[in-house]
Structure formats: structure tokens, C-alpha cells
Amino acid sequence: MTGSAALPGPAAVPGRAGGAGAGLGLRGVGIGWRPEISGFVESLPELGFCEVIAESLPLSGPLPASLAALRERGIPVIPHGVRLSLGSADPVEPARVTRFAAAARITGAPVVSEHIAFVRAGGIEAGHLLPVPRTREALDALAANIARTQAELPVPLALEPIATLFDWPEDELTEADFLTELLHRTGALLLLDLANVYANARNRGTSPMDLLDRLPLDRVAYVHVAGGSEHGGRYHDTHTDPVPAEVLDLVTALCERASPGIMLERDGHYPPAAELAAELSAIATAAGRAA
């Protein structure tokens, strides 16, 4: 895929907190790097940063050429893990942590990120990010696995709350309280996915602004946005659909409170370059509305 677009970054507003990401050099608009759109990503002249799936990186050889070119331009590259299973009751697997830390080193990343989720239990792989019960016991297990991971990482860790189609019946804490306590106990940063905020609120029949207003925005390292669609009465965070207007409105609301770097996630069914560029511009415009 080819094509380029100038990406205006969110304006810095006096008195508006930049969040933790300001100290990491994560500003403006970014995008998730994927092999299928690597040419497009590399061609973006004003790219703020990009993210790569940590487990996809070849640690025994050089970085893919387009990722290496982005690094040479000084574009931050963030490894984003999907397989650590920080929310498992079992201890996180040392080999996976070692590989995750190596991904941070070979990319020269300012931060790495993973999900507040589990993907395996009792040796069985789920093949999907599953929600952690919001209980004190789960909080203890998460905090222990995060500490084990942080001990080996050369850079800070940002945690992403996932989109979920259900909540566990034994939940003891709200999502905001669970997340705030987890970040406080671990010292981790927050990867705030506004598409997940919207999806969870829609599926719970609650207001996404209620959640946004209760989150520790001073801990935000950077932000995800993505598209989704409704199936069977539930909203699914697909990453294959355009970003809906409601998520762009959340971008504006967030940027009235902070000035984080914001990136687009796309996974599969990639549109033509012009459509991707228009989506990136729409994100920048939404952020700029708060200025």
C-alpha cells in the first residue's frame, strides 16, 4: 500500500496536562505498524509514533526494513504485547518476559505495552484476550505478574484495559477503581484505548464519559482508537471498521483534559491509502477541536 498524508498533531494547550506520554516523546498522531500497510506507514511524513506487535518481531535478525527506516527518522516504535497473559493466575512465563524485554531493546522503545487480560489458563491457550475478574484476588495476581515483568524490562510498561463483551458476576470493583488501584500498586502507565471505553460502555448500557472522568489521565502514556461494529446486539471492537463518530468525540473530550499521543489501530481488511489517511486526519481534527 502506498500513499502519504500530512498529519497535524493535537495542539498543546496551556494548562492542559500532557500526561505521562509527554515525557516519553509520544505526541501527535500515530498508527499501528503492520506488514500489510508498512509502505503506507513508512511514507507518512509527519508520523508521531508507531506501534508493532511485540511477538511479531524477529529477534534473531534485523528489524523489517520499513521499521528500521522509521527508527532512522527518529520515529518512536513501541512493542505492543498480546501473549504475556498478565492476568493469569499462574506466574507469567519467564521466556515470554525475556522476549518482550528484547523487543524493547531492539526497537529502542521509550515504553512497551501489554493488556490487562489473560490468554491462557491451566496450559490451555484461549487464542483471545479474556477479561480479568475485577476482584481483590485477581488484582493481587495481576500486580505480581506485572512486577515480575517490570523487573526485566529496560523501559516503563503501559497497561491497556481491553474491550469485553461480558463482566464476571463476582466483580468487586468498578473498572475505574480496579484500574486506578492497579496503576497505583504497580507504578505502571496507562495505555488508554478510547475504542474500548466506548465498546464497554455501550455493551454495559453506561456512559463512556462517566468512565473517562474517573480514570487517572495523568498516567496515560498514549492512546488507541479503532473501529468496531454491532453483531447480535453487542458492539465488537473489530479494528477492521472505520473509527465511529462517538469515538472521535471521546478523542475531543480527552484532549480537553490532556494532550496525549493518539494512534489508529487497524488489523485486517485494510482500506486504500486515501481512506487510511483520511482516518488519521479525522483523529487529528478531533483532537484539535479541543484546542
Measured N-to-C along each axis, helices 273-288 and 245-255 cross at an angle, to the nearest 10 degrees, of 40
- In angstroms, how far is CA 249 from the centroid of its own chain? 18
Whether 247 has a pLDDT exceeding 70, the answer reads yes
pLDDT in tens, 203-232: 988 999 999 999 999 999 999 999 988 888
Quick one: pLDDT band at residue 160, thresholds 50, 70, 90?
A: very high
pLDDT reported for residue 9: 44
Among residues 153, 61, 58, the alpha carbon closest in space to that of 100 is found at 153
Q: Work out the average pLDDT over 247-264.
A: 96
Among residues 267, 197, 232, 245, the alpha carbon closest in space to that of 35 is found at 267
Among residues 155, 156, 190, the alpha carbon closest in space to that of 176 is found at 190
pLDDT reported for residue 128: 72
pLDDT reported for residue 170: 85
In terms of DSSP bridges, do strands 124-130 and 118-121 run parallel, antiparallel, or are they unpaired? antiparallel
Coil/strand/helix, residue 197: helix
Identify the residue whose cell numbers are 491509502. Answer: 273
pLDDT reported for residue 231: 85
Lowest mean pLDDT among 11-25, 140-154, 197-211, 258-272: 11-25
* C-beta of residue 153 within 8 angstroms of C-beta of residue 101: yes
pLDDT reported for residue 12: 39
What class is the 21-234+258-275 domain? alpha beta
The dihedrals phi and psi of 171, each to the nearest 5 degrees, come to -55, 135
In terms of DSSP bridges, do strands 112-116 and 157-161 run parallel, antiparallel, or are they unpaired? parallel
pLDDT reported for residue 15: 40
pLDDT above 90 covers a percentage of the chain that reads: 75
pTM for the structure as a whole: 0.92
- The one-character DSSP state at 23 is G
Q: Work out the average pLDDT over 144-152.
A: 98
Whether 264 has a pLDDT exceeding 90, the answer reads yes
pLDDT in tens, 137-147: 999 999 999 99
Q: Which residues contact 90 (CB under 8 A, 6 or more apart)?
A: 121, 122
- The whole-angstrom separation of Cα 72 and Cα 176 is 38
pLDDT in tens, 64-95: 999 999 999 999 999 999 999 999 999 999 99
Quick one: pLDDT band at residue 115, thresholds 50, 70, 90?
A: very high
